[in-house]
Copies of this chain bind each other. A is one copy, B any other.
């Protein structure tokens, strides 16, 4: 059986989850894949913290670039997060001809044109399944499962922190500030929660969904983004009385030759399946011209759910490497059915 070396950059929550998953289910994965995935190195600046997973200490290094240079490593998994060193490592890996797997939505949304362009030029693939929807196989469903469809719209609930806050506001009548504090106390919100509650995290995911569905390179500055910070308890109670719930939605929607991409709190009828999505769960509804409505639901974050999707991306990478044929992924927007992004001023939607 062929073996393919993997190097992990970033040994935090998700990195440790990926190592755990590869150790725990490595034999099963090999039997399904027909190739062996071998963890050949893990880079992190902090090698002391207990990550809750037993790995050979000889695999650990503080030198991420050593993994990129290692000829026995064919796949670099970037789980550092952020757009600083992560960008540098990803570009170096591409330059070195490695396949890249990343769960970094901020990096790929903000520097997608640069990174995907470099990958295309070098003939390597960049997989980013775990950057949208955590454990939900939504990226690959759009890419492969619905490949024959012209995508009409994508509606997603993609931020667990906002879900949690809205749930506490709705069910317990907590005001926004108290619900946010509760989320922070439970570990569901960061000390600086602005990326989540102001909709930026959801907008990164919306941008990636627009790239997947339409090949669009979307800049956050070009989007309507509204978070949940301004929501009053009264708003929630009023719409509840009308039979609706408020959810922070990512919307990507084709209208003729243009595509709207927006993020804002939206009214969802309480009988709609999206209304019941709460806490760490995410859901994405995709409408295709052939298939009609489809829905994908699962844990949008967390150590092992995210690792589940990272491992699936590693498996895709291994299959392409084993066949000696890069998948040419993601597609070059120039060749696709490419609509334009609808300018902010032209976006019209029903608001409460």
Interface residues of A (CB under 8 A from B): 17, 21-22, 24-25, 27-29, 31-34, 129, 135-137, 140-141, 144-150, 271, 273, 276, 288-299, 302, 304-305, 307-309, 311-312, 315-316, 319-320, 322-325, 327-328, 331, 335-337
Show 18 A/B contacts (Cβ-Cβ < 8 Å), sorted by A.
Answer: A25-B149, A27-B337, A28-B337, A31-B335, A32-B336, A34-B328, A34-B331, A129-B145, A137-B141, A137-B146, A140-B144, A141-B145, A147-B312, A149-B308, A292-B302, A294-B297, A320-B323, A323-B324
**Are B336 and A148 neighbours in the complex by a CB distance under 8 Å?**
no
With beta carbons under 8 angstroms apart, the residue of B29, B289, B323 that contacts A325 is: B323
A283, closest chain B residue (CB): B295
Q: What are the residues of chain B within 8 A of A305 when measuring CB–CB?
A: 290-292
**Are A294 and B147 neighbours in the complex by a CB distance under 8 Å?**
no
**Are A33 and B147 neighbours in the complex by a CB distance under 8 Å?**
yes
Known: A31-B335, A273-B273. A148 touches B25 (CB 8 A): yes
Q: Which A-B residue pairs are the 8 nearest by beta carbons?
A: A137-B145, A148-B311, A294-B298, A323-B325, A323-B323, A135-B291, A290-B308, A295-B297
**How many angstroms from the CA of A337 to the CA of B31 in the assembled complex?**
8
**Are B148 and A307 neighbours in the complex by a CB distance under 8 Å?**
yes
A325, closest chain B residue (CB): B323
Q: What are the residues of chain B within 8 A of A25 when measuring CB–CB?
A: 148-150, 289-290
With beta carbons under 8 angstroms apart, the residue of B34, B276, B311, B331 that contacts A32 is: B331
A287, closest chain B residue (CB): B298
A338 to B: closest C-beta gap in Å: 9
Known: A312-B145, A335-B31. A295 touches B296 (CB 8 A): yes
**How many angstroms from the CA of A328 to the CA of B25 in the assembled complex?**
20
**How many angstroms from the CA of A328 to the CA of B27 in the assembled complex?**
17
**Are B147 and A311 neighbours in the complex by a CB distance under 8 Å?**
yes
**How many angstroms from the CA of A172 to the CA of B116 in the assembled complex?**
55
**How many angstroms from the CA of A294 to the CA of B283 in the assembled complex?**
10
**How many angstroms from the CA of A148 to the CA of B335 in the assembled complex?**
32
A136, closest chain B residue (CB): B294
**How many angstroms from the CA of A20 to the CA of B144 in the assembled complex?**
19
Q: What are the residues of chain B within 8 A of A147 when measuring CB–CB?
A: 29, 32-33, 311-312, 315
With beta carbons under 8 angstroms apart, the residue of B137, B276, B331, B335 that contacts A144 is: B137
Q: Knowing that A295-B295, A296-B296 are A-B contacts, what are 10 other residue pairs whose CB atoms are under 8 Å apart, sorted by A's residue number?
A: A29-B147, A135-B290, A145-B309, A290-B304, A290-B305, A290-B308, A294-B298, A294-B299, A319-B327, A323-B324
**How many angstroms from the CA of A274 to the CA of B4 in the assembled complex?**
40
Q: What are the residues of chain B within 8 A of A148 when measuring CB–CB?
A: 21-22, 25, 29, 307-308, 311-312, 315
A125 to B: closest C-beta gap in Å: 12
Known: A141-B141, A323-B324. A307 touches B290 (CB 8 A): yes
A324, closest chain B residue (CB): B323
**Are A140 and B150 neighbours in the complex by a CB distance under 8 Å?**
no
Known: A292-B135, A294-B136, A327-B319. A312 touches B144 (CB 8 A): yes
